[in-house]
A and B are shown apart, each in its own frame.
Chain A
């Protein structure tokens, strides 16, 4: 990989929310419609100060609910605007009715979304139950491990969502408080570079273009609804190649390459943990510690959960002996978390496949530490050596 040395990036201290707001400033969207909710409030709050200070040309719409925020984004995007918002948990729940409409209308709205537990009981801390609740809404879902990725992912999401072969909305998540409120060392692109990377947006259609009138949001019954869903489904599949291409280009230009997945020390690994978001960083340290003791272990981080990278996951895990999928939400299906069932599904038709166990962890912001992850690896190593598979779906770090 060639790293361009000509582009000088600024090394700064930023929290996840600050990093996402900074990316939004550089994107300079036409419209931002938002409603505050912990732990995402700061994103729109910081952005609104950019608006007041004249640093962006954005039309900031302060609405009375998240349902209205997403509706305003849909309306402005249908008029041809580059529209953004930000939310979390109950806010995402309140948007839920409009999310699939944004996708079906092929409106490339980009939304920073801070992972927070959905009620109840009421809890403001991190888990992935909110994002997973909306996993079948037609939105692209990108998870960030740290503040750097939060920044990089928001910039890339614009390119992905607006790509001619995609034209779908995308959300970029960070883990609530763990990343959203954590200050870390990150590199920021110069404004003109970020602006050039995302480029200008030209919508295919505008509902306000009277010379070329269109209908948006029409009724579509038995005779054509099905045919009109297929292109959206195909676009989601197409998005995989576009996400890879944009991630590769980002790496070539700025030295940080991205893919659908991140493989950490998987090449010669016999067992691995699969997880999303901030836990991946903690797991990397555990992998290094146990590798120093001679254990052949690795990590598969799923960066993009929608579209689900079936082929890449099967290829990455097929040769392993045992895998633990870590879910920061329970699907309430009676069979573990959503990542677990989908990873199993990806592996089912593979010629070779590992034993797969599931841990639901970290609900409501429960910390996941190095010892817990080490214990998961130790169990996997026993399974690899022919030990009993034991309880397939288990709960990590909970008082039973």
Chain B
């Protein structure tokens, strides 16, 4: 278990936290790793706080319990930070990536967190490229840039492939999402 990377996604029902976790696992598996992605809540309730999880490892992953001490946390909706303890169980050397217009130092202070704080305006990037506030795909780009847990080019390739299958009649959606991932990769700051 020690060499397993554990990730927790915080979002609100409808923002795509579960889909983002699935895309990460899919990309990890496409790059030859073992991975899990699973939601805390099955049927998503629009607007309600939801969590999703990833485990990524070089070895077979056998555990099927909740992720307790995620080394990486992603927050799709910063308003959750006032009502949910997004740092619960996160070690001091962990990483948190927040979808916000604010700077990392603002949240470093607000959260009183010793680990790494990254921020990215994923909602703005999504609105610009996709035309909707769907921050989940841009957060993938931010995640890879901030943590290097997966090969960026391979993740982009696999996610494009997956989007092509899902949106075969909407090429503009595919392009927009890929551009959003690329923008977030460039813009995420620590």
Task: State the A residues within 8 Å of B (CB).
Answer: 11-13, 15, 38-39, 124-125, 146, 175-179, 181-185, 278-279, 281-282, 284-285, 289, 367-370
Contacts and interface: CB of A to CB of B under 8 A. Distances in A.
A125 B66 CA distance: 14
Contacts of B35: 13, 183-185
Given A175-B64, A282-B64, A182 B42 contact: no
A146 B64 contact: yes
A179 B30 contact: no
A178 B38 CA distance: 7
A182 B64 contact: yes
22 contacts: A12-B29, A13-B25, A13-B35, A39-B42, A124-B42, A124-B43, A146-B64, A176-B42, A178-B38, A179-B64, A181-B38, A182-B38, A183-B21, A183-B22, A183-B25, A184-B25, A184-B36, A278-B64, A281-B64, A282-B64, A285-B1, A369-B68
Give the 7 A-B CB pairs with smallest separation, nearest first: A182-B38, A281-B62, A278-B64, A183-B37, A13-B29, A13-B26, A369-B65
B42 A368 contact: no
B65 A367 contact: yes
Contacts of B111: none
B81 interface: no
Contacts of A15: 22
B62 A177 contact: no
B164 to A, nearest CB: 16
Looking at B22, B35, B43, B62, the one whose CB has the most chain A CB atoms below 10 A away is B62
Contact of A282 (B29, B30, B65): B65
Contacts of A38: 42-43
A262 B62 CA distance: 14
A183 B42 contact: no
Contacts of B33: 185
A185 B64 contact: no
Interface string B31-48: 001111111001100000
Contacts of A285: 1, 62-63
Given A12-B29, A285-B1, A369-B68, A181 B62 contact: no
